[in-house]
Amino acid sequence: MKTKMYTVGILLLLLATPVMADKNSANKAISQAEVLIESADRSDGMIHAAYLMKSARDNLNQAKVDLDNRNWTKTEIAAKKSQRDAEVAASKADATKAEKAYTDLRKSVDLLRNELQRKRSAL
């Protein structure tokens, strides 16, 4: 369900990309992609969503190549793809950590419940 929402969001973003981009917006998109990739790295994106992080870095590198070639529109599109991949990777990492925390908490609650049950039966 979340994957479908991300896919739809990415498609809408690509459709909303301006036809005529300029150098400033291309540079801004690259900077934002770099920040989002760093953020995803801090969220352990490489551990939990390595393929998305690789895609984000590949798209960022492509954006930089397009920037060097002065193709502002392609630069902005590649940078925005990179941004979305980094955001999804960070979200996936956060979701995986939350699921693990929930599982650990659930085990602790079950252990306490069993201990309480055992003490009640001993009385």
Q: How far apart are CA 32 and CA 83, in angstroms?
A: 7
Residue 47 counted as domain residue: yes
Rounded mean pLDDT, 35-59? 93
Residue 118 counted as domain residue: no
pTM of the model: 0.72
Report which of 86, 56, 84, 67 is spatially closest to residue 28, judged by C-alpha positions.
67
Residue 38 counted as domain residue: yes
Range of the domain at 35: 2-93
Residue 32 counted as domain residue: yes
One-letter amino acid at 7 equals T
Asked if residue 28 has pLDDT above 80, the reply is: yes
> Tens of pLDDT along 54-71?
999 999 999 999 999 999
Residue 103 counted as domain residue: no
Residue 13 counted as domain residue: yes
Residue 99 counted as domain residue: no
Neighbours of 67 (CB within 10 A): 20
Residue 17 counted as domain residue: yes
Q: How far apart are CA 72 and CA 28, in angstroms?
A: 11
Counted domains in the chain: 1
- Give the per-residue pLDDT at 13: 61
